[in-house]
Amino acid sequence: MFKILKYSFFDLMRSRWSYVYFLFYLLLGFVLLFLNNDVSKAIITLLNIIIVIVPLIGTIFGIMYYYNSREFTELLLAQPLKRTTIFLGQYIGLSVSLSLSLLLGLGIPFLVYGLFESSEIWNFASLIIVGVFLTFIFVALAMNIALSNENRIKGFGYAILVWLFMAVIYDGLFLISLMLFNDYPLDKFSLIISMFNPIDLSRILILLKLDISALLGYTGALFNKFFGTNWGMFISFFVLSCWIVIPAWIIVYKSMRKDF
């Protein structure tokens, strides 16, 4: 698995799209810090960008990598290797390479602006951790979609639809349901529903860490009320971990049953 992981990692690091992804965050970090001249404000602005861009890039890279490396995967399957080793190695290699581009792209500008001398270092670390979680989650979802669809056009369409649903449509449906049933106690319902969307959960986690009550929103305020800041963050991390483990297990399950 480590050899396949290493191959996938270095294969992606040689890709020009990895450098484009890295340069995007590098320029974004410098521009935000130059305009705001405040690490705290830059982190809040990055939050709104990362929770949308990172899932999109993870989804696109995940679906593209699977389809582009399908012939190589079939060659590996002809060797005396476990399917679990092959697919988990590819999944982890892809996720780690994207996470590294995110880490270096945002880390360099903030280090230049004196992150270690700032009190916002732990808030920035939480932002990066959330970005890594979202990368692993949406790469796993994309690979599951690709494993379920041999047709590339259908696979791309379903992957983009999943991202669009999580990033935009889910919140709209959630707000409509709150408006329609505002006469009923919806506190527990809102908490449970928010856990089914990793993007919303990531936003709540960062806002709890930043302790910005004005920006928490309805579900964020409920997390703070029911669990408090520390418990709310712990539960958010736990659910995000489940969002990684369960899709990764489904990748293994599907790969074992799929006829290549």
Give me the domain span that covers residue 20.
Answer: 2-257
The residue to which tokens 């060659």 are assigned: 75
Q: Give residue-wise pLDDT tens across range 122-150.
A: 888 888 999 999 999 999 999 999 988 88
| pTM of the predicted model as reported, rounded to 2 decimal places | 0.88
Q: Which of 191, 4, 174, 173 lies closest to 79, judged by CA? A: 4
| Whether the Cβ atoms of residue 113 and residue 29 lie closer than 8 Å to each other | no
Q: How many domains does the chain have?
A: 1
C-alpha 60/C-alpha 53 separation (Å) is 11
pLDDT at residue 59, rounded to an integer: 93
In the chain, the percentage of residues whose pLDDT exceeds 90 is: 18
Torsion angle of C-alpha atoms 18, 19, 24, 25, degrees rounded to 10: 80
Mean pLDDT of the 52-56 span: 91
Q: Give residue-wise pLDDT tens across range 168-194.
A: 888 788 778 777 877 777 667 777 777
Mean pLDDT of the 91-120 span: 85
Q: Give residue-wise pLDDT tens across range 209-256.
A: 665 544 555 555 666 666 556 676 777 788 889 999 999 999 988 888
End-to-end CA distance of the chain: 19
At residue 150, the 3 state secondary structure works out as coil
